[in-house]
Chain A
Amino acid sequence: MRYTSKLRLIEALEINAQRHASGARPYRSSLVCGFMPLHLSDLFRAHLNLAFQDRDVLVETGLYGDLSGNIERALESQPDSVAIVLEWQDLDSRLGVRQLGGWTPDAAEDIVAGVAKVLDRLGSLISERPRHGTVVICPPTLPLPPFSHEPGWQAGLSELSLRSNMSSFLTRVALVKNVRIASSSAIDKISPLADRFDIQSEIGVGFPYKTLHADAVAQILALGIRNAAPRKGLITDLDDTVWRGILGEVGADGVHWDLSNKAHLHGLYQQFLMALAARGVLIAVVSKNDPALVEQAFAREDLALKRANIFPIEAGWGRKSEAVNRVLKSWNIGAESVIFVDDSPMELEEVKSVYPEIETRVFPTRDPAAAWKLILDLQDQFGKAEVREEDRLRLSSLRNANLFEASTAGGGAQGPSEDSFLSEAEAVITIDTRRDAVTSRALELINKTNQFNLNGKRITEAEWDTLLADPAAFLQVVSYQDKYGPLGNIAVLAGRAEGSVLRVVCWVMSCRAFSRRIEFQCLRMLFEHLNATEIELDHQATPRNHLVKDFLSTLAGEINGGPVRLDRTSFEERCPVLSHKVNIR
């Protein structure tokens, strides 16, 4: 899994003490459970401190034995995030060992009915209580006690009913905005079932977990809250990676990826790459091969990975790092967002020597178990909570962007030819100013964009909700399309109005949208729509956002790394011709 580091309890306490002493900005998280949180709380706090390196995490806990009350209070207190840990004993104490409530057949029926009611209530609490910030729920991780009459190897109706009700509850709350459910399979991978329950600790102090299991639960909760941005692109080799065999030696019909040729691993890998492409991950090929032969191979209809889902294909005989360079330029993304997969450790090393920030993975051609592990690892690297329309559009909009760039390059960078080119692009900009406008996409853009980013500040869901709750707040979520195709939502701009002065606190734009003067239109619409006389932009220079400084310099003259003020008159004098049709919602 991405970001996973086991912590010993002493390490967790030391991390927490050091971070608190550093005076970093606080981050509040509520840890909700029905048992004594004890060192689960310390480990959770430490994992969150590791996840949010510039924050001092403070974890609030609740009352012993009051799960639903703790959930209610946590949601009301509006922390930055809430982590809810469910164990069976907290839904009915007869499913634990600290109280002697009875395990007779009658009790089993009553337990099932009682747990269903509790889950229904919890579902309503979580669905209906307004909140901001992320909620992560960890389903029960401990085994059930012997409360039903079946032998241990049999899942009886009582157990099945409990699990079915739990599953329905989790499905219900998973549909709620900002609620994420921790995967039981993920916990199974890092914490063996037999090593989780500490009966002595549970009876002695009301804490049911062995320390290693507490760390596993804490890790998963922190992963869910952090929700790291997925990687954006995968670059793959071909020979003995996408297919078994060396294309140049055996020809397009001689490479295989099927069961009968004992090459099914490669078929699975292709299928997975297709799935990534469908989710909006960019897939490119870098291969030492004859380009014409590669195109012949991709003309085969039995390929699971289709040619149309790959852009670009860099086939040739030069250094792979040079080909990777061309791919990164086509994609216009940084190497740190990319994974390179090749069966040759030497090629991986060569690329890594030029791009140390690129992640590399060796494709284990002869080792099915290792190949399966690789696919699961890639799932973690590229997985995302939602697949949006922008994701589906990404490849086509990238191809269109390259076509657009080629067209503008032909006419020269400035001057009448660019004006006339843009005027013929049939561009339509839609600016959504509604407070609930596509919030998750807006937040993703703010937290993933580096180049056109006003100040590089990252915002949590809770901070975003707080910003937009201000009556003086304004928001633009910008989508774009032209005759080359739609780009989807490509810019977000937000801030506060103070009379006729607008203070812009965040502004990002996707690199796919450059060279279309969208940024100028955003500012013009702010002046016009909000009747502003002045815009103050909270600009701060970062190592990656020089494009913003260059853009602002065209409007405000030479600027240093700090805030920039633009008045309406000066803006209109310096703004180039804008040919977009603009729709405001």
Chain B
Amino acid sequence: MNEIDSRLTRCFQAVFPKLSVASVPTASVDTVAGWDSVAVVQLLNLVSEEFGIETDWEQAEEMTSYPAIRKMIADHISIS
């Protein structure tokens, strides 16, 4: 697991404590109970804090899965 995944996994498990490490990479709004708008806000705030990314709330609707959030982080890091 590389550093982004390791830190992002910690964020996911903080918001969804019952999510196992193995389940995190495939976590999405369709597979995780409790993945609601409040959870998304929590996740994006954690990501902002952890990775120093300013949250773009207009993108929030697209953040529906681990891969989507991971891509957002990777895109931000590659731009900066």
- Mark A residues whose CB is within 8 Å of B: 8-10, 13-14, 17, 21, 38-39, 42, 200-201, 203-205, 207, 211
Contact = CB atoms under 8 A, between A and B. Distances in A.
A10 B10 contact: yes
Nearest to B60: A204
Given A13-B14, A17-B17, A39 B55 contact: no
B38 interface: yes
Contacts of B24: none
Contact of A201 (B14, B17, B37, B57): B57
Interface string B2-34: 000000001100110100000000000000000
A17 B57 CA distance: 26
A42 B49 CA distance: 14
B45 A9 contact: yes
Interface of B: 10-11, 14-15, 17, 37-38, 41-42, 45-46, 48-50, 54-58, 60
Contacts of A17: 14, 17
B57 A204 contact: yes
A15 to B, nearest CB: 10
Contacts of A200: 54-57
17 contacts: A8-B49, A9-B42, A10-B11, A10-B49, A10-B50, A13-B46, A14-B14, A17-B17, A38-B41, A39-B41, A39-B45, A42-B42, A200-B54, A200-B56, A201-B57, A211-B45, A211-B49
A294 to B, nearest CB: 55
A39 B11 CA distance: 14
A485 B3 CA distance: 69
Nearest to B7: A10
Nearest to A207: B41
Contacts of B14: 9-10, 13-14, 17
Contacts of A39: 41-42, 45
A39 B58 CA distance: 19
Contacts of A207: 41
A239 B19 CA distance: 61
A38 B42 contact: yes
A21 B49 CA distance: 25
Given A21-B17, A203-B57, 13 more contacts: A9-B14, A9-B42, A9-B45, A9-B46, A9-B49, A10-B10, A13-B15, A38-B41, A38-B45, A200-B54, A204-B57, A204-B58, A211-B45
A201 B14 CA distance: 21
A205 B41 contact: yes
Contacts of A13: 14-15, 42, 46
A38 B54 CA distance: 17
**Which 6 pairs show the lowest CB-CB distances between chains A and B?**
A204-B57, A13-B14, A17-B17, A10-B14, A9-B49, A205-B41
A509 B72 CA distance: 62
A17 B42 CA distance: 14
Tell which of A17, A205, A207 has the most Cβ of chain B within 10 Å: A205
A196 to B, nearest CB: 16
A207 B41 CA distance: 10
A200 B56 CA distance: 8
Tell which of A9, A17, A42, A207 has the most Cβ of chain B within 10 Å: A9
Contacts of A10: 10-11, 14, 46, 49-50
Contacts of A201: 55, 57
A487 B22 CA distance: 65
A13 B16 CA distance: 10
B48 A211 contact: yes
A266 B50 CA distance: 46
A42 B11 CA distance: 14
Nearest to A13: B14
Nearest to A37: B38
A211 B47 CA distance: 12
Contacts of A203: 57
Contacts of A14: 14
A201 B49 CA distance: 14
Nearest to B44: A205
Contacts of A204: 55, 57-58, 60
A205 B40 CA distance: 11
Nearest to B59: A204
A10 B46 CA distance: 6
A49 B37 CA distance: 25
Contacts of B41: 38-39, 205, 207
Contacts of B11: 10
Contacts of B57: 200-201, 203-205
